[in-house]
Amino acid sequence: MLSNEDRVWTIVESKSAAYFDLSDKIWDAPELNYQEFTAASLHADLLKREGFSIKSGVAGMPTAVMGEAGKDGPVIAFLGEYDALPGLSQEAGVARHQPLIVGGPGHGCGHNMLGAAALLAAASIKEWLRTAGLPGRVRYYGCPAEEGGSSKGFMVKEGAFDDVDVAICWHPSAFTGVFRAISLACVDVDFTFHGRASHAAVSPELGRSALDAVELMNIGVNYMREHMPSTARIHYAMIDGGGVAPNVVPAKAIVRHLVRAATLGEMWQLLERVKKIAQGAALMSETIVEIEQLTGDANLVENTVLEEAMQRSLMRLGAPEFDDADRRFAAEIQKTLSREDIAADYARFGLPIRLEPLFDGIYPLDHAVKPYGSTDVGTVSWVIPTVQCNVACFAPGTPFHSWQLVAQGKAPAAHKGIAVAAKAMAGLAKDLFTENGLLSAAKEEFRTFRDANEFRNPIGMEMTPPLEISA
C-alpha cells in the first residue's frame, strides 16, 4: 500500500505532462514584466481545468491571477512566476548564442519553469486533499513582474496574504536544496534633476546643468561605497542623460539607483544617505531634484521549521535523475562558460567543485551560501511563514539572466527539475496538513520574528502598480 507521500508524488507524475507543456508554451511566448498576458491566460486555463475558482487582476495587476480550491482548514499558498527578461532571445537546445529574435526577450531566469511547477504542486495537493477527505485550502498565486516589478509587494499591500498560513515556492537552479533566507532587501529609486537650459557657448553662465547634477550624485555615491556595509550593493543606470546635443545645457536628467542591503532597516538607512547625496548634488549644481520610489523588495525571513521540513521532503524524494543525453547537452553549455564561472557557482553554494556537467545531489541545509540578489518573495516572508527550495534544472556555472539559461529552458533536464520541484513542494504541503504541530511550530517561529521586528512594505504604501498597461 502506498504511503501518503507516495500518493502525492503519484498524482504529480500523472499530471506532469500538461505542466511540462505549460512551461514550454510560456518559454515560446516570453513576455516582460506586467505584460504577461499569454502566460497569465495559460495559467488561468489550467487552474479552471483543475477545478480551482479563479480571480484575475489581483491587487490591480492585469496579469496577476489567483486560484483557490478546498474548504475549511489551513490555507497553503504556492507562489508562481512567469515573466521574462529583455534581450535574451535564444533558440532552445542550442549550445551557441543564436537568438530567435535579435534583441527580443527570453526566459533567462527560468520563470517559465517556476510557475509551471508551482501550479503542478498546487493542483496535485488539491487532488490529494480531495481523495484523502481532509479539510484544507490550496491557493495558487500567479505573480507577474518579479524581475524589477515587485508584484508580490503590491499583493502584500492589498492584503492578499492576510488569511494564508504558509507560502511555498521554488526556483530553478543548478543545484538542489533548500533556498536559504539570504536575499537582500532592495529599493529602486529615480532621481530626476531639473536645471535651466541655455546655449552652451553663447551663454553658458545662464545654464544650470541637470547632467552635471547626475554626475555629481554618482561620484558622491561611489565615494560612499567605502563607508557602507560589505553586504550592501548600489547599482545605477542613466535613464535620461539630458539629450544628445552637447551645445545645449541639459535642463533635465534622470538617474536610477538600486539600493540593496542585508535587512530592511539597513536598506532604508542607506537610501537616506543616497538621498542626501542627491540633495547635495542639486545644491552644488543649483538644480532641483525630485525623488520617486519605483519598486522594492524585503529581505527573505528565515523560518527554520519550514526549512528543515522542506529539506526532509527533498531528502525523501531525491534529486532529479539525469541521463546521458542530459549530461551531454549540459557539457556543451559548459564549454561556452569559463572555469571561473563554474567554480564561482559552486563556491556560492559552499560546495566543492565537481566535474560533472549536472549536479545530481542535494546540498546540506547548513551549507554556507553567499547572498543572492533580491526577490519579492522576501516581502511575502515578512507577513506569513515562507519557504523555498532550489531544484537543479541546468548546468552549474550557467549565469542567471543569460542566453545559456534560456537555451536550457525546454530541455528534458528542465522538465525533470519541474517534476522534482512540484513533488518537493506538494510533499511539504502534505506534511503541513497532516503532521501534528508542524504548522503551529512554523507559525510560532514567525510570530516571534514579527514581535521583534517592525515591517514596512518596501513597495511604499503610496504606490500603485502600473495600471496603464493593456493587453
Q: Which three cell numbers stand for residue 402?
A: 543569460
Distance in angstroms (rounded) separating the CA atoms of residues 188 and 457: 13
Amino acid at 265: G
The pairing of beta strand 233-240 with beta strand 136-143: unpaired
Place of cell 527554520: 304
Angstrom distance (rounded) from CA 305 to CA 259: 30
- pLDDT tens string 256-302: 999 999 999 999 999 999 999 999 999 999 999 999 999 999 999 99
CATH code linked to domain 4-183+300-452: 3.40.630.10
198-212, 303-317, 342-356, 377-391: least confident range: 342-356
**Dist. CA 18–CA 358, nearest whole Å:** 25
The grid cell for 272 is 537616506
Residue 433's alpha-carbon distances to 201, 292, 447, in angstroms, are: 74, 43, 19
Q: Tell me the pLDDT of the chain averaged across its residues.
A: 94
Q: What is the pLDDT of residues 45-80, one digit of tens each?
A: 999 999 999 999 999 999 999 999 999 999 999 999
pLDDT-derived band at 466, boundaries 50, 70, 90: low
Decide whether 4-183+300-452 matches 185-297 in CATH topology: no
pLDDT mean over 24-38 = 97
Under DSSP, the state recorded for 85 is: B
Are the C-beta atoms of residues 389 and 461 closer than 8 Å to each other? no
User: Dmax of the chain from CA atoms?
Assistant: 90
Burial of 85 (0-12, 13-18, 19+ CB in 10 A): buried
Element (H, E) at 373: none
Q: Which three cell numbers stand for residue 102?
A: 535579435
Give me the pLDDT at residue 95, please.
98
pTM of the model: 0.93
Hey, is 290 helix, strand or coil?
strand
Band of residue 471 on the pLDDT scale cut at 50, 70, 90: very low
Q: Which three cell numbers stand for residue 43?
A: 495559467
State yes or no: pLDDT of 1 exceeds 50.
Answer: no
Average pLDDT over residues 110-134: 97
List pLDDT tens digits, range 219-230: 999 999 999 999
The answer to whether the CB of 465 falls within 8 A of the CB of 151 is yes
CA distances to 33, 154, 223, 361 from 150, rounded to whole Å, are 9, 7, 29, 32
Residue appearing with cell numbers 543545484: 175
Residue 5: which pLDDT band, with cuts at 50, 70 and 90?
low
- Per-residue pLDDT averaged across 161-188, rounded? 95
Neighbours of 84 (CB within 10 A): 27
Tell me whether residue 339 is exposed, middle or buried, using C-beta atoms within 10 angstroms of its C-beta: 0 to 12, 13 to 18, 19 or more: exposed
Q: Tell me the mean pLDDT in the region 145-152.
A: 92
- Facing residues of 129 across strands? none
d(CA 345, CA 338): 11
Phi/psi at 126 (nearest 5 deg)? Answer: -60, -45
CA distances from 315 to 112, 230, 269, 411 (A): 25, 34, 40, 24
Other residues' Cβ atoms within 10 Å of the Cβ of residue 448: 10
Q: Sheet containing 166-173: which strands, arranged edge to edge? A: 53-56, 65-71, 136-143, 75-81, 166-173, 386-392, 177-178
Neighbour count for residue 454 (Cβ, 10 Å): 7
Predicted local distance difference test score (pLDDT) of residue 367: 74
Q: What is the mean pLDDT of residues 158-173?
A: 97
pLDDT recorded at residue 470: 38
CA gap 58, 143 in Å, rounded:
9
Q: Would you state the cell numbers that stand for residue 18, as one nine-digit string?
A: 500538461
The CA distance from 190 to 212, in Å, is 16
Count CB-CB contacts under 10 A for residue 196: 14
CA-nearest of 257, 195, 190, 192 to 222 is 257
CATH 3.30.70.360 matches 185-297? yes
Residue ranges of the domains in the chain?
4-183+300-452, 185-297
User: For the segment 299-333, what is each residue's pLDDT rounded down to a tens digit?
Assistant: 999 999 999 999 999 999 999 999 999 999 999 99
Q: What is the mean pLDDT of residues 367-384?
A: 87
* Partners of 186 in the β-ladder: 260, 297
